[in-house]
Structure 1
Amino acid sequence: MMDKHGMTPLMHAAWKGTESMLSYLLKQDTLFILFDFRMLLEAGAKAYHINSVNRTAAAMAAFVGNHECVSVINNFVPKDDVWYYTRLQPLEDEPKLPAKLAHPLYKMVMSMNTHPVRISMIVRADPLLLENLDKVTAVLELMSDKEFKHRYDVNEILSLKFHMIKYILKVTKFEKILIFCTKIFFRRFPVHQENFLRQGIKEFPFPESTLFKMLVTNFSHCKTYGEGQTAAEYINGAFNGQKGFKDYENCGTCGEEKAEKKCTACKSISYCNQDCQKLHWFMHKKFCKSLREAFDKREKEAKESEKLEKKEEK
């Protein structure tokens, strides 16, 4: 919702310094607020600034339960942080990153989902990334180091995120064929994927990081794979902000949030779309029947419980 000058209500409130209106708008959980947050960040707003009670914008958004805003703030990367590597630096014969790769790489690092299958899908959809994985991973390593070692405002979230994307891309490069690469994360699932992601965290070069220590502690408490959150969910939670509960399902293939389609046979596993369902089928078909039986049993028990309650009311 913008006026003829391209200004939204939040932008007007911020420009005019109307604190009461600004406070009201920031509490609203709507899509235009998320859009405004991105625009404010792109215009140079600093997410590390604190208010009178020593809270950052992300902390305040988490406090009021606006998890989408937390994700936007935590995952925001200024465009110049990527385009910087497309410019020739002193003592260089050529830029570290070809200009044609800047936009695909920026799109990848702005993703709020670092599930290995989702990252592999992004690469599979863009031949430029696949053809230049050596340069992309080298730049991601530099970006990770910069966020942790070369900024006065250390950003542990982005540093670890860039590291994990680089770590996943190394496997993508090794596998050559991306369709096989995405499938490998399902083999012996969840053992292979759990071990893979935990090893990626273990290789983070800054063990003094608070975020690193938190993830290691979480992993140590979850020794039986398949119980509780997966490593992918812990990692995405570290980047997007922890949530006390969720009222939606994640995609069984790529971990994307708010997956609205379910397997029509078992009605138990959610997917983003038909592509994700097809990719997961070779693994899912082994359990689809048993999941349907469990689903039918739950439905039957729920109906019997409902009948019993009605009888007691009478």
Structure 2
Amino acid sequence: MATAEDTQEVTREIFTNIFNNDFDGLQKIYAKNIDLSPDILDEHGMTPLQHASYKGNEQIVRWLLARGADVNSGKHKYQYSALHFGALSGNPRVCSLLLAAGAKSELANSVGRTASQMGAFVGNHNCVGVISNYVPVEEVSCFAVPESVHSDPVISVELVQPIHKFIMMTNIHPVKVALDIPPVFLVEDNPTKVYKVLHSLSEREIQKQLEANEVMAFKFHYLSCILIEIAKYYNEKQSDSKEFFIKKVLKSEKNYLEQFLKDCIRMFPYRDCTIFRQVKTIFQH
């Protein structure tokens, strides 16, 4: 029977292995102690997942999550979550893993800072971008389910993952967006279907009861504008509609980009939003 001293020694070994990024050593300890919880605590109330997140070790984070580690453990004495530590690590992939596992981005530490705010404070803007742009895949997959037995789903199941990846991009320069549009978005009636999803997601962000996310609402609208613009060239039988759009943007042909962006702003339906007034003001100067 394990003594208290034995348990303390095992605990120390676990956190030492995580500190040293020793994944093999960590696995061996858990293999020898099959009943050991993935949520054991150190003297500060930190779990192995929080330690691994702070180290930015994607492999260990993924493994601990698979073992059922509590992604929102709140026993740290300063109330830092695993996502707080992930944002501090500077590894955006770790932040993505935590968010996909259900990490709550709105949780604040003892000084009232969220994970995104802590990431920004230390200059890890790539992590901030991932957290700020994260959308649960369920918010897209619901469009692949018919609303009733007498209706068809808005999109096919095959479009769920490409759309989910598309809406979570953090670099939204029009050229980057164009390059990242999957070819499947442009075939048959898929442009219209994807547009409907983006429009619905934008509307959903505005109508959130607790706190509307105007920035995300405008982002979805903006992405839909680029998609439809490229789809228009595709329908006009351009040899490569994405390349055609990119060339027009880069060459600034007849102020093409400026006019496109102005039209995009003008078509945003939520005129009372702060984000609408801000972007409109920018293009008036």
TM-score, normalised to structure 1's length? 0.60
Distance in 1 separating the partners of 2:140 and 2:264? 23
- Distance change (3 Å), C-alpha of 1:183 and 1:94: same
- Distance change (3 Å), C-alpha of 1:49 and 1:151: farther
User: Structure 1 residue 97 and structure 2 residue 155: aligned?
Assistant: yes
Contact 1:133–1:169 (Cα < 8 Å) also in 2: yes
Match of 1:72 in 2: 130
Distance in 2 separating the partners of 1:47 and 1:207? 28
What is the deviation of 1:40?
A: 2.2
Write out aligned runs for 1:159-238 (5 A). 159-176=217-234, 177=238, 178=241, 179-189=243-253, 191-221=255-285
What is the deviation of 1:65?
A: 2.1
Distance in 2 separating the partners of 1:36 and 1:146? 27
Among 129, 132, 137, the alignment partner of 2:185 is: 129
Distance in 1 separating the partners of 2:89 and 2:258? 33
**What SS is found at the alignment partner of 1:171?**
helix
Among 77, 84, 90, the alignment partner of 1:30 is: 90
- Distance change (3 Å), C-alpha of 1:60 and 1:157: same
Distance in 2 separating the partners of 1:190 and 1:60? 43
| CA offsets 1:228-285 (integer angstroms, 9 cap, x no match) | xxxxxxxxxxxxxxxxxxxxxxxxxxxxxxxxxxxxxxxxxxxxxxxxxxxxxxxxxx
Contact 1:97–1:136 (Cα < 8 Å) also in 2: yes
> How many residues are matched?
217
- Percent of aligned positions with the same letter in both sequences? 30
Distance in 1 separating the partners of 2:202 and 2:172? 15
Consecutive aligned runs of 4 or more in structure 1 exceeding 6 Å deviation = none
**Is there any run of 5+ residues in structure 2 with no aligned partner, and where?**
1-20, 31-37, 39-47, 54-60, 62-68
**What SS is found at the alignment partner of 1:220?**
coil
Among 101, 105, 118, the alignment partner of 1:47 is: 105
Amino acid aligned to 1:129: F
Contact 2:87–2:128 (Cα < 8 Å) also in 1: no
Amino acid aligned to 1:44: G
Contact 1:144–1:163 (Cα < 8 Å) also in 2: yes
Match of 1:147 in 2: 205
Match of 1:56 in 2: 114
Contact 1:74–1:157 (Cα < 8 Å) also in 2: no
Contact 2:146–2:153 (Cα < 8 Å) also in 1: yes
What is the deviation of 1:193?
A: 0.9
- Distance change (3 Å), C-alpha of 1:50 and 1:216: farther
Distance in 1 separating the partners of 2:87 and 2:202? 32
Contact 1:48–1:153 (Cα < 8 Å) also in 2: no
- Distance change (3 Å), C-alpha of 1:144 and 1:92: farther
Contact 1:117–1:182 (Cα < 8 Å) also in 2: yes
What is the deviation of 1:139?
A: 1.0
Amino acid aligned to 1:30: G
**Is there any run of 5+ residues in structure 1 with no aligned partner, and where?**
222-314
| CA offsets 1:188-213 (integer angstroms, 9 cap, x no match) | 35821122113212321112222222
User: Structure 1 residue 156 and structure 2 residue 214: aligned?
Assistant: yes
**What SS is found at the alignment partner of 1:65?**
coil
Match of 2:141 in 1: 83
**What SS is found at the alignment partner of 1:186?**
helix
